[in-house]
Chain A
Amino acid sequence: MRQRKSVEWTRLDNASKIFPATCGNKDTKVFRLACELYEAVDAEILQEALNITMDYFPFYKSILRKGVFWYYFQTSDLHPVVERESDPVCAPIYLDDRKNLLFRVSYYHSRINVEIFHALSDGTGALWFMKTLVYHYIRLRHKEAFADQIPEFKPNASISEKMDDSFGRYFEGRDLDILKLMDNPNKVKLVRTYHVRGTRLDENRVKVIEGSMSVKAALGLAHKYNVTLTVFIAALFIYALHKERPVRTKNDPVVLSVPINLRNFFESETTRNFFSTMNIGYAFGQESSDFQDVIQGVSGDFQKELTAESLNQRLNQLMSIEKNLLTRIIPLPFKDYSLRFASKIADRGITAAVTNIGQILLPEEFKRYIRQFSLCSSARMPHISICSYNDRLSVSFSSPFQETEIQRTFFEFLSEKGIDIEITSNL
């Protein structure tokens, strides 16, 4: 008799739960990490590197399945296959009932793409996967160059640390009462925020316009205003959104959703989701629309939101909703509907989004092989994703609309300040 292997499965962590319910053709909840090299990608070596990488990331073999009450991850023995890029950027990955991996690896000329369904991992988690993949690719591709000494690259966590559900570890969420939450006096009143309108692209594609520039130059500009790069880009984005909007909406506040990497606040090495979001806004109705003032306002918001206290409170709330008995016993299809509804409501308070996954570090010796990294994502609203490698800062602007006024204003502002920008666009 064959030996029975017990079926391995895992629950979705708190942040992942929203993604299967709300993904669709309009917003696939897929994001892409790309690494551009100086030479064409060798598909066979990339496949070899991917096979090695998979051993370090067993969780990436998961497929997503539907239970009666919740979705769950189930381990599979599927092997990811490297393909030449042939789909639109951030094409759907998770489709109901289809048993496929939740990420794909492709290449095009000299670029390696890793596209990931957000339920599997957040940007930081995916970046570790990407770095491991690129490390092994370059190590294999340039064996002769590294004949004497292979540059060191340590996995930064054990396998079990990588698979950790850090939400469950840090947030109990039991002491909060849902009913009390409902009439919380501190709750922010929902005001009408500005929403970008435009002509949707055919087949719900995403328009990615990526500007790459020198990190030093961009940082220099941000420091002139005495703020960090994230604050500067967020403020400039708000400014560009404001400048291009129709007059009748001029008084509505512009609000950005900004993800926070919780690994910076709570000790965790998970490659799964461990992030939260905050809303950064600027009330144009009441304040001046001078760029200097916008930057001050945004900077203040960042400082206010980014405290362990406010994070703790928010996450415990989310956790208590998840752990509530009533939420748990609602069958999955109803959960899907309520989550979709809740996310629509939340979207009303948001104009656009900004993500910064920061500086990407790889061994020094790799600098002559890697041109730049970039990050972009599917977009139900305009979304800016930032990352940097070496002295290359990549600012990717994803949008579901044909119009490019906001992008133009955004990049023109930078080029007028004397920053040399290289624009890449997918459409």
Chain B
Amino acid sequence: MQYCSHCQVRIRGNKKDCPLCGNILPGDNGACGQQEIYPVVPPFYERHLALRIMIFVSVVALVVSFMVYALFPSTINWPVFALFGLISMWLSLIIVIKKRHHITKNIMWQVTILSFLSVVWDWGTGWRGWSLDFVVPILFVSAMFVLYVTAKIMKLRARDYITYFLLDGLLGIIPVIFLLFDWIHVLYPSVISVAISIIFLSAILIFQGENIKAELAKRMHI
């Protein structure tokens, strides 16, 4: 065992210098044959490199689009579109990354955020109603299928997806408001969404009622 004459302590492991005072130890390094006490853990260099590249590409794309617009002006202010496009993409991507360990939660977050974004885009581009007509109801319905397929493929247990099924079923009924207040021009998607949701909800409540009750008791306890 090595000895630091400054601190008057013995030092275990293959150390070149004293962990306390930092002085070089007199011992014949490496040849003292001591066993390492702790493993050497290499640093984790390349962390988030892909993400950094994406941020860089976004910044470049934005700068170039504004530059081109400044040099060759047009009637539509399309760099602003590029800006909002990028913001939308990042919003969605951040959720994907943050919730990556919880797939069903992730899907529900995506449905919510994409519905919200589509309404914002529709409103920002002159409110032609395509978001409520098509996007929102189609998102709700497809989420039901995606959730179901994911749950089956990943062999998830009822407790891991049941509340999200319930949540999506409830969201799917929302287009009934669009119908009642006459906000939409095309009926099919909303009617289908509401119908499927009600059938879906009744199915999970009838067959998985106890599970849902147990899950809610657990998640909502105060």
Instruction: Please give the residue numbers on chain A whose beta carbons come within 8 Å of chain B beta carbons, in ascending order.
Output: 4, 6-7, 9, 11, 67-70, 72, 74, 84-89, 95-99, 108-111, 202-203, 209, 211, 328-329, 404, 407-408, 411-412, 415-416, 420-427
Q: Which of A67, A86, A411 contacts B218 (CB 8 A)?
A: A67
Q: A7-B214, A423-B19, A424-B12 are in contact. Are A411 and B7 (CB under 8 A)?
A: yes
Please indicate the chain B residues that have their CB under 8 angstroms from the CB of A69 in the complex.
Answer: 220-222
Task: Verify if B185 is at the interface (C-beta below 8 Å from A).
Answer: no
Residue interface bits B1-45, CB-to-A below 8 A is 1, else 0: 100100111111101001111100000000000011111010110
How far, in whole Å, are A421 and B10 apart by their CA atoms in the complex? 6
Q: Which 8 A-B pairs have the closest CB atoms?
A: A425-B19, A97-B102, A415-B8, A408-B20, A426-B38, A67-B219, A98-B101, A97-B101
Question: Would you call A86 and B41 a contact (CB within 8 A)?
Answer: yes
Known A108-B37, A421-B9; 18 more pairs at CB < 8 Å: A4-B211, A11-B221, A67-B220, A96-B98, A97-B105, A99-B101, A109-B36, A109-B37, A203-B43, A211-B9, A404-B20, A407-B19, A411-B7, A423-B10, A423-B12, A424-B11, A424-B37, A425-B19
Question: Would you call B221 and A72 a contact (CB within 8 A)?
Answer: yes
How far, in whole Å, are A69 and B22 apart by their CA atoms in the complex? 49
How far, in whole Å, are A272 and B220 apart by their CA atoms in the complex? 23
How far, in whole Å, are A53 and B210 apart by their CA atoms in the complex? 33
Question: Would you call A404 and B210 a contact (CB within 8 A)?
Answer: no
Question: Would you call B13 and A425 a contact (CB within 8 A)?
Answer: yes
How far, in whole Å, are A145 and B18 apart by their CA atoms in the complex? 40
Question: Would you call B10 and A422 a contact (CB within 8 A)?
Answer: yes
Please indicate the chain A residues that have their CB under 8 angstroms from the CB of B37 in the complex.
Answer: 108-109, 111, 424-426
Q: Which of A6, A9, A11, A404 contacts B19 (CB 8 A)?
A: A404
How far, in whole Å, are A426 and B12 apart by their CA atoms in the complex? 10
Question: Would you call B101 and A412 a contact (CB within 8 A)?
Answer: no
Question: Would you call A209 and B20 a contact (CB within 8 A)?
Answer: yes
- Closest beta carbon of chain B to A205's beta carbon, Å: 8
Instruction: Report the nearest A residue to B211, measured CB to CB.
Output: A4
Instruction: Report the nearest A residue to B4, measured CB to CB.
Output: A423
Instruction: Report the nearest B residue to A84, measured CB to CB.
Output: B39
Please indicate the chain A residues that have their CB under 8 angstroms from the CB of B128 in the complex.
Answer: none
Please indicate the chain A residues that have their CB under 8 angstroms from the CB of B13 in the complex.
Answer: 424-425
Please indicate the chain A residues that have their CB under 8 angstroms from the CB of B19 in the complex.
Answer: 209, 404, 407, 423, 425, 427
Instruction: Report the nearest B residue to A72, measured CB to CB.
Output: B218
Question: Would you call B20 and A9 a contact (CB within 8 A)?
Answer: no
- Closest beta carbon of chain A to B100's beta carbon, Å: 8
Instruction: Report the nearest A residue to B158, measured CB to CB.
Output: A4
